[in-house]
Structure 1
Amino acid sequence: MSENFFDLTGQVAVVTGASRGLGQYFARALARAGADLVLTSRDANALTPFVKEIEALGRRAVPLALDVRDHDSIQRMAEQASAAYEQLHILVNNAGCNVRKPALDITWDDWNLVLDTNLRGSFFVAQAIARQMLPHGYGRIINIGSVTSVMGYAGLAPYTASRGGIRQLTMSLAADWGGQGVTVNCLAPGWFRTEQNKVLYEDAGWVDYLVERIPVRRPGAPNDLDGAVVFLASEASRYVTGQTLLIDGGISTGALRATVSKRS
């Protein structure tokens, strides 16, 4: 065991949804901590520039196609990942999507798209990778959730349902696999600017509204998640399982003033 509990040298991390956004930040953080990578996207060719970036850091990166709504695709990815590396140590279950609509406008297909991607997909990816981890008696599974797993937000009914499900799923899988050396935790970001929500950040009034409710008084920056994902992937978190770690600047506290503030 390394004296540095956060050293991932010699370990392999699977990161789903790594063609853009937070998935790439998670992968970079793990690579900088020493991990080699399996990177997935629905289009493996879209990963080529990012693979080159990871290789420039001195790490190996294997790009694989994965559609988390397709069970055969999940099984194929797990088999290819296991063929590429002797052992898989870490899974960052990041692939997801969102549909922003008032609740009355959500369609049957909208609901199925979000739940099938975010919740069903996360379960079956975790199951497939756990089958590779359990014979080795070691694994770190990190399900990517959201502050919406603990708070309700108008216009996000399918998304909040899926993320609440991820939180519960994390606890169940932790109970299933903890005795066999595999921990399962949920990393839940707060409000970070991503491709899914960038239109909101183009509205200065909305940003002011958001920042007023975040105790640290700013939205999240992607590298705010680096330490958390490395912690949950590393030996430092060996006695942590079934937990949801909120990286949200404190917005989940409620962030409502009970006193009148003095403004200049």
Structure 2
Amino acid sequence: MTFPLFDLSGSRALVTGSSQGIGFALARGLAEHGAAIILNGRDRDKLENAAQSLRSAGHEVSVSDFDVTDHAAVGRGVNAIEKDIGPIDILINNAGMQFRTPLEDFPADRWEQLLETNISSVFYVGQAVARHMIGRGRGKIINIASVQSELARPGIAPYTATKGAVKNLTRGMCTDWARYGLQINAIAPGYFKTPLNQALVDSTEFSSWLENRTPAGRWGNVEELVGAAVFLAARASSFVNGHTLYVDGGITTSL
């Protein structure tokens, strides 16, 4: 049985930061709904291992190892995909990083690194891909925001700033590009078990706090983000634009 509104057959998706964690889970989820996948990251070996895992399940997968924080490299990488692999119908801007320390001690170089990785990359890749999508009159861009687009916690103020910027850049992309037939939305994950959060997962104190703070009473599993991604990548969301969808077990709704 197929569900046309959620069928991604015949489409091609580029997912940044997709050799592991949320990016890989989203890539696999889109592949399971019919999309051809392009994995992106900086570590070619990790990308190839991730790609082989998807290929062994029967999915069509390519890899592209350009650096999303390098504007020129992004332009070359996206143009090469369009020329050598095929048109990018879906972009998931997932690449991101975290660094935790009190704000008064936060190193300037880490601030710059967070800006480049978490927000500049969304602009660079989004712009490069959108230029091709605009010419075709269609396209889906999904930016990965965070509950920190709305909330702050001690020690991660710069990360919070970047994820707030992702939310508003999503709105700006919609304002500029919806007229060309593009849908640009964001997914804002809550606390999920990923390599980025492993130190928190391993902390009994933090996990206890999170389970008490989250109405659902637990960490999220990365597979629980797939439904939101498929919805926003598919025809089902054809009139959804500039929206940030929180997948957070209710943490942003409750004090």
TM-score norm. by structure 2 comes to 0.97
CA distance in 1, matches of 2:158, 2:84: 35
Shift of 1:197: 1.7
CA distance in 2, matches of 1:180, 1:3: 26
Q: Is the 8 A contact 1:31 1:57 kept in 2?
A: no
CA distance in 2, matches of 1:104, 1:83: 47
- CA offset digits 1:36-85 (Å, max 9, x no partner): 01111112232112111222232221111121221121012101210233
CA distance in 2, matches of 1:40, 1:141: 15
User: Which position in structure 2 is the counterpart of 1:41?
Assistant: 41
State the structure with more CA Rg.
1
- Per the alignment, in what secondary structure is the counterpart of residue 197 of structure 1? helix
Which amino acid in 2 is paired with 1:119? Answer: I
CA distance in 1, matches of 2:70, 2:213: 39
User: Which position in structure 2 is the counterpart of 1:58?
Assistant: 58
User: Which position in structure 1 is the counterpart of 2:69?
Assistant: 69
User: Which position in structure 2 is the counterpart of 1:184?
Assistant: 184
Shift of 1:91: 0.1
- Per the alignment, in what secondary structure is the counterpart of residue 154 of structure 2? coil
What number of residue pairs does the alignment pair up? Answer: 254
Which segments of 5 or more consecutive residues in structure 1 lack a partner in the other structure?
257-264
User: Which position in structure 2 is the counterpart of 1:160?
Assistant: 160
User: Which position in structure 1 is the counterpart of 2:17?
Assistant: 17
- Per the alignment, in what secondary structure is the counterpart of residue 191 of structure 1? coil
Shift of 1:108: 1.0
Q: Is the 8 A contact 1:37 1:60 kept in 2?
A: yes
Q: Is the 8 A contact 1:43 1:66 kept in 2?
A: no
CA distance in 2, matches of 1:208, 1:3: 39
CA distance in 1, matches of 2:59, 2:192: 27
Q: How does 1:123-134 map to 2 (within 5 A)?
A: 123-134=123-134
Q: Is the 8 A contact 2:28 2:54 kept in 1?
A: yes
CA distance in 2, matches of 1:195, 1:73: 26
CA distance in 1, matches of 2:113, 2:86: 34
Which segments of 5 or more consecutive residues in structure 2 lack a partner in the other structure?
none
- Per the alignment, in what secondary structure is the counterpart of residue 5 of structure 1? helix
CA distance in 2, matches of 1:110, 1:41: 20
Q: Is the 8 A contact 1:189 1:248 kept in 2?
A: yes
User: Which position in structure 1 is the counterpart of 2:27?
Assistant: 27
User: Which position in structure 2 is the counterpart of 1:136?
Assistant: 136
Q: Is the 8 A contact 2:41 2:64 kept in 1?
A: yes
Q: How does 1:190-205 map to 2 (within 5 A)?
A: 190-205=190-205
TM-score norm. by structure 1 comes to 0.93
CA distance in 2, matches of 1:69, 1:4: 36
Q: Is the 8 A contact 1:8 1:34 kept in 2?
A: yes
User: Which position in structure 2 is the counterpart of 1:115?
Assistant: 115
Shift of 1:86: 3.2
| More moved, 130-139 vs 44-53 | 44-53
Q: What CA RMSD, in Å, does the superposition of the two structures yield over aligned residues?
A: 1.2
Which amino acid in 2 is paired with 1:106? Answer: F
Q: Is the 8 A contact 1:44 1:65 kept in 2?
A: yes
Q: Is the 8 A contact 2:140 2:183 kept in 1?
A: yes
CA distance in 1, matches of 2:77, 2:207: 39
- Per the alignment, in what secondary structure is the counterpart of residue 101 of structure 2? coil
Shift of 1:3: 5.7
| More moved, 200-209 vs 155-164 | 200-209
